[in-house]
Amino acid sequence: MKSVLSTKVLSLSQKALLSDFKINLVEYDAISIEFIEFEITDEYKNYIFTSKNAVRAFLNKKKNTEINCFCVGEKTKALLDKNGYKVVKMTENAVDLADYITNNHTSTSFLFLAGNKRRNDLPSILTEKGISFKEIICYETLLIPKKFEQHFDAILFFSPSGMKSFVLENTIQDSELFCIGKTTAEEAKVYTANINIAKKPIIDEVINTLITFLK
């Protein structure tokens, strides 16, 4: 029987995808999110969101829907759509979004809402290309390290922060890693070459990639 660790507690429907396989599934939340106080003015009409958590923080502050949104990830876009916001562009990673902005919106100013552990890719590219933007940290990602005594055949990771949390108390050893996207996979390369990347950066696709491995 294969042992599998998920660094995020899965929903019942997500666990149901694995019901045909005899596995020992262990799950826990390797990180938690804490919203922090911030202020938004009406100065900016173009917003950048690289996570659902940034959108959630924003929704707690502002109800005006007369803005243009640029975002990373289908789930982020879906949350904006659901709340009546116009999404001008969605990409699957921050580098592609930064490239789109620098190629198509050189004279536009942006407000970038992010977490305290966001990667430097997007702001670095925007700065390098002379794009005007203001960054506001609207939530904190807290690591929740937990020690495991057992070895896992497979480990599911959903963010670079989740991986950093896991390795605070554990080692990767020869476990097969399943990553939600390229940025998480980049973090994984520090520890192992046993990396599998989901075809789309959503939890169900991470599970589908694991299923291929289990077969």
Output the DSSP codes for 49-97: ESSHHHHHHHHTT-----SEEEEESHHHHHHHHHTT-EEEEEESSHHHH
Q: What is the structure's pLDDT at 61? A: 83
Q: Mean pLDDT per segment of 10 residues, for the chain of length 215 residues?
A: 96 93 95 94 92 94 84 94 96 94 96 93 96 97 96 96 97 96 92 95 94 91
The rounded distance, in Å, linking the Cα atoms of 139 and 72 is 17
What is the C-alpha to C-alpha distance for residues 69 and 89, in angstroms, rounded to an integer?
A: 7
CA–CA separation, 7 and 11 (whole Å): 13
Closest CA to 12 of 204, 205, 172: 204
How much is the pLDDT for 63? 66
Residue 57: per-residue pLDDT: 95
> Pick from 187, 140, 138: which is nearest to 159 by CA?
187
Q: What is the pLDDT of residue 65?
A: 74
Per-residue pLDDT, 43:
87
Give the pLDDT confidence score for residue 1 in this predicted structure: 87
Structure tokens at 181: 């996207």
Q: What pLDDT is stored for residue 10 in this prediction? A: 97
